[in-house]
Structure 1
């Protein structure tokens, strides 16, 4: 992992196609020269595939400032809680960071959560995390930053790779990927399957006969094909399908998340370079809530079908060697509805049927220019977004079939204008200084607008009148590269998210999604990357002073830290690769104390974990893999509802083999 992203070198253009082969890349257009002007971290292939858990959220957890709404990973959390954010701008379960897979958004169109279990690290070549508001393609969702996942091809994956691991609890992790070259192009086909009875999330002293382990079973399949149309143009087609089943806390408390996603991308690298992409998503979610007193079903979220589609077109005109100009437009449409049935906790009888949903859309137009003047690169960009919230409704009928609620919400629309700009000055081969300022916005999700939910005994109401969140921020940074393979970075930032959407407590058992005046986050982010022969170290640290600014009905929250936001997060990985195929790594990670709720009444204590990884070649193409999660068996509290506690991953040991052939 490197704290400063370096632009990918442009492809050498074939001057004589009769004697030079067509080069197929499988990526988008090269990074622009000013990419490092923003606080950017890049994670390479070796780090991606050698985490202790083998899960992408664990890989991202090493990035300073990355958080999910809860500390649980995608084996032991409710899928709808898997929102991601950066820079302590959290406070609810929606994602405030834009997550892209090969240029296409992957968040659930209804909830905004990220389907982490579908994003197998084995398929990826690199990850780039950019903190701060985004004004480029799909930038309307990037109020805290952008996470770009890039799939690998034959050069990074090899023609065949397979993994099989088993934990001490009998859980299994398997994957198989083939990546053949097909003429002048290539294809990648991959499947992954994880399953297990899971661990106890309920502490021993709180278990009852209905308590169960956090069992899970998830699988995903992906196909990607890349082919040249001519020597400077290529087409990229991708399909991803997945299904994820989990059980949390009580028998019968089952959740499921499934989906399909496809994208088609056309990339041209001639003088008039272009990147055209279209995508479509179809996802579903279900969830059963069990009473913690009667242990009967009290809510069955039967289904939440949602669809998303959109695309982008970006053009880079030839405006001279010192400028890189990007002009583009993008479109995102999300629609969906929930169907759920509440039940009486004592009788087990259905009491009502509810439906709710709507449609959000955003059409954006952006322009950005990078101007290189000697050792200085300047960048400036702007976006104009036409947003719309439409067709919102909430309908409920009682057990007798009588209509009790039929609410139709007023359609709303408007324009948002946002800007960003920055500079990086490479003062010498050792020192680089950078600065950036930006604005941004995020629409409320369909979930926030229309769907109430229960984490027993607390009910959180939706709010169809929510306003867009709007970001204002700036930062300054220093990059040091004292020698080859050694780099350090430090960034100071000040971000203010106006009209931030929070789950505001109204009574001990009732909350509502409301816009508070702002969430104001200031802090420092440190990164380091050291490569000295066979030894490497990658580290990151984030310290933030984040507080809610509130007045009116939510004035009681003024000055509080947002829910689920720690002040301090730090991670460091020391690795040793004495020979090809060998790797020994240890990761120390610390997450500071945070509050469960906006009232700062329930605390999630700080937790420090230690992970290990060992890979040893056995024979040609086959390696032994040993992994250890939370080796010191730290107690990780992931939920604390007035003393009712859930726990995170205990000590987990994995052993297996990895086969790969080139």
Structure 2
């Protein structure tokens, strides 16, 4: 696979000029008319707090990684500050609006309409989704029940693949940094039949950097090695009055964290089929299947030997959605639909003695979660006023849960099977949009949402020495209630400013709650409350541009009973202030310069507010200079001033994030 990617990238950089010359000779009759995306946004979509990240920003980040691009939407965060080169994959859950607290995603992440969260853990495989394959990213902050589906608790992140026109016939890039790490990708997007196809691949690898502070390093300390590849194919065709979209993806990501032998991996395959009709009766029908697996070896931080081998975590997901928009008049947009999601997974792991190296316990856990939802939503345009409202009903089930363990001799230690349970959850959302004049638009929205506990939260205990975290098979779904008020200023097509005030509350929020010394359990808190302000701006003046986003949030835990001592505390891993600002200079011939300033305020590592992750301010740079035809030189800098980014602080044991890193390379077709 790696050889294929190297060859395809080289072919893209060398052979593309001739291929592009042939493409430039096409006549207007060859212009692709299929779109390759879903149904358009409805008139009331802007009533909710939305932010669009355009392709120019997506392909101009300092790191070239998706999670870095999403950092342009202040309020976006993962459980930890590490990116997908130096984080444990199972900790890469996505959330918005300071509603963090555990590693599972509270935001629903979609790629061309397909949920990307892992069926077992709930994390997002960021390394599998190369930013250069995307056309736009739409971020909706706040509860997004209704057409988005279950899981859009803190909001929705919609990743939209680029079409053939945006990509060009052939694109490719190859970069190397000053440590010798490399990043390569290539794609080809020819016209095929009455549409187009896209075939792409990427490969990132390197020895990485030391996440361990220099004073704490030992002979067993390892750099954060990583080796990840991803390949995808997409076919978009006109079939009568319908548009068919077929997409497949495969990926594998291998990493080493902190110590030699502390290896983990995640791999997966996706397949989806989508039919879209944009006629009088608009239809968006989608079906998908996913397969995932995760492995992880834990090394003792005192004896530096293997103590846990999560050797196999197979998981799979299936689902689909159908949405129908009947012709009900020019001033009304009615959406009717249903969706289904099923996730199944199992865990197989072995525990070993740090002293003898002998097998001490074998553990098995898993289960099945399903969700069937029905939704209706309607937008009504009344001149300058647009109203929207939607209702959703979800029938969920949590089935076949189990946990079994055996000692080193094979004798049973635990053999637990948990009762099946199911219930209905009804959620809604409503909003209003008022165009006060040509410049000012006022908006208001209220909403509810729901998220099922993941199989990981329900059934899998884990240890990060010296702390043990227990699973909890009795967890109930998280439920969000919230509202927001906002104003948008559009002075002209190139000047926009947006301000939103929000109040969100997650009832029964799932968190890792300390119940004894070095012992935690996943529990439903009474609530997490988040009150805050979000602002964003976009200004374009000729080749000069500025994009900014900030989020100021006051988040608190509400707890009684076992969690009573947490009442009033800030949720773990939750900053109060986040901001991102990018100044850019782009010309029509492909010259591109961008500088991004980001700040994340301090946050607590744990629910007891005993360990602090200090604030971090970083600057990233990007430069692309045309050389000949569509070939350009690229220079990127991550963390220009080498800011110390603490990503983990557990009783003084720390991990660091990306240090100052310089990249240089070539691009063709961007």
Same fold per superposition (TM over 0.5): yes
Whole-angstrom CA distance in 2 between matches of 1:412 and 1:90: 26
Per the alignment, residue 196 of structure 1 pairs with 206
Q: Of the candidates 52, 60, 64, which is equivalent to residue 50 of structure 1? A: 60
Shift in Å, 1:137: 3.2
Per the alignment, residue 160 of structure 2 pairs with 150
- Please tell me whether the aligned partners of residues 584 and 592 of structure 2 are also in contact (alpha carbons under 8 angstroms): yes
1:382 paired to 2:414: no
Q: How does 1:495-506 map to 2 (within 5 A)?
A: 495-506=504-515
1:345 paired to 2:348: no
- Please tell me whether the aligned partners of residues 365 and 385 of structure 1 are also in contact (alpha carbons under 8 angstroms): yes
Deviations 1:403-423 (A, max 9, x none): 110000011100000010001
Per the alignment, residue 9 of structure 2 pairs with none
1:639 paired to 2:648: yes
Per the alignment, residue 130 of structure 1 pairs with 140
Q: Give the stretch that moved more between structures: 246-255 or 506-515.
A: 506-515
Per the alignment, residue 415 of structure 1 pairs with 424
Q: How does 1:318-357 map to 2 (within 5 A)?
A: 318-357=327-366
Q: Of the candidates 68, 76, 79, which is equivalent to residue 69 of structure 1? A: 79
Per the alignment, residue 181 of structure 1 pairs with 191
Whole-angstrom CA distance in 1 between matches of 2:447 and 2:397: 23
- Please tell me whether the aligned partners of residues 145 and 153 of structure 2 are also in contact (alpha carbons under 8 angstroms): no
Q: Give the stretch that moved more between structures: 556-565 or 652-661.
A: 652-661
Per the alignment, residue 246 of structure 2 pairs with 237
Whole-angstrom CA distance in 2 between matches of 1:654 and 1:266: 41
Q: How does 1:31-430 map to 2 (within 5 A)?
A: 31-230=41-240, 232-430=241-439
Per the alignment, residue 529 of structure 1 pairs with 538
Per the alignment, residue 553 of structure 1 pairs with 562
Q: Of the candidates 539, 549, 562, which is equivalent to residue 571 of structure 2? A: 562
Q: Of the candidates 563, 567, 590, which is equivalent to residue 581 of structure 1? A: 590
Per the alignment, residue 656 of structure 1 pairs with 665
Shift in Å, 1:509: 1.3
Per the alignment, residue 516 of structure 2 pairs with 507
Per the alignment, residue 479 of structure 2 pairs with 470
1:455 paired to 2:470: no
Structure 2 residue matching 1:351: 3-state secondary structure: strand
- Please tell me whether the aligned partners of residues 22 and 228 of structure 1 are also in contact (alpha carbons under 8 angstroms): no
Per the alignment, residue 11 of structure 1 pairs with none
Shift in Å, 1:453: 1.1
- Please tell me whether the aligned partners of residues 146 and 428 of structure 2 are also in contact (alpha carbons under 8 angstroms): no
Whole-angstrom CA distance in 2 between matches of 1:72 and 1:366: 37
Structure 2 residue matching 1:57: 3-state secondary structure: helix
- Please tell me whether the aligned partners of residues 216 and 245 of structure 1 are also in contact (alpha carbons under 8 angstroms): yes
Per the alignment, residue 19 of structure 2 pairs with none
Per the alignment, residue 479 of structure 1 pairs with 488
Shift in Å, 1:529: 0.2
Deviations 1:175-207 (A, max 9, x none): 010000012210000000000000010000011
Shift in Å, 1:331: 0.1
Deviations 1:374-416 (A, max 9, x none): 0111000010000000000000011111111000001110000
Whole-angstrom CA distance in 1 between matches of 2:550 and 2:561: 35
Structure 2 residue matching 1:137: 3-state secondary structure: helix
TM-score normalised over the length of structure 1: 0.96
Whole-angstrom CA distance in 2 between matches of 1:21 and 1:234: 16
Per the alignment, residue 3 of structure 1 pairs with none
TM-score normalised over the length of structure 2: 0.95
Q: Of the candidates 432, 437, 444, which is equivalent to residue 435 of structure 1? A: 444
- Please tell me whether the aligned partners of residues 604 and 638 of structure 1 are also in contact (alpha carbons under 8 angstroms): yes
Give unmatched runs, 5+ long, in structure 2. Answer: 1-28
Deviations 1:242-261 (A, max 9, x none): 00000000000000000001
Give unmatched runs, 5+ long, in structure 1. Answer: 1-18
C-alpha distance 274-352 of structure 1, shift in aligned 2 (>3 A): same
Q: Of the candidates 592, 603, 612, which is equivalent to residue 594 of structure 1? A: 603
Shift in Å, 1:136: 2.7
Whole-angstrom CA distance in 1 between matches of 2:587 and 2:363: 60
Q: Which consecutive aligned stretches of 4+ in structure 1 deviate over 4 angstroms post-superposition?
A: 19-22
Deviations 1:98-119 (A, max 9, x none): 0000001111100000000000
- Please tell me whether the aligned partners of residues 146 and 427 of structure 2 are also in contact (alpha carbons under 8 angstroms): no
Whole-angstrom CA distance in 2 between matches of 1:653 and 1:21: 39
Per the alignment, residue 8 of structure 1 pairs with none
Whole-angstrom CA distance in 2 between matches of 1:109 and 1:183: 35
- Please tell me whether the aligned partners of residues 357 and 450 of structure 1 are also in contact (alpha carbons under 8 angstroms): yes
Shift in Å, 1:352: 1.0
The count of corresponding residues between Structure 1 and Structure 2 is 642
Whole-angstrom CA distance in 2 between matches of 1:483 and 1:180: 36
Deviations 1:479-529 (A, max 9, x none): 011233001011000000000000001223111000010000000000000
Whole-angstrom CA distance in 1 between matches of 2:650 and 2:459: 24
Shift in Å, 1:579: 4.6
Whole-angstrom CA distance in 2 between matches of 1:280 and 1:137: 20
Whole-angstrom CA distance in 1 between matches of 2:465 and 2:231: 34
Shift in Å, 1:140: 1.1
Whole-angstrom CA distance in 2 between matches of 1:20 and 1:268: 22
Whole-angstrom CA distance in 2 between matches of 1:372 and 1:266: 28
Whole-angstrom CA distance in 2 between matches of 1:376 and 1:205: 62
- Please tell me whether the aligned partners of residues 136 and 366 of structure 1 are also in contact (alpha carbons under 8 angstroms): yes
Whole-angstrom CA distance in 2 between matches of 1:338 and 1:407: 14
Shift in Å, 1:269: 1.0
- Please tell me whether the aligned partners of residues 138 and 330 of structure 1 are also in contact (alpha carbons under 8 angstroms): no
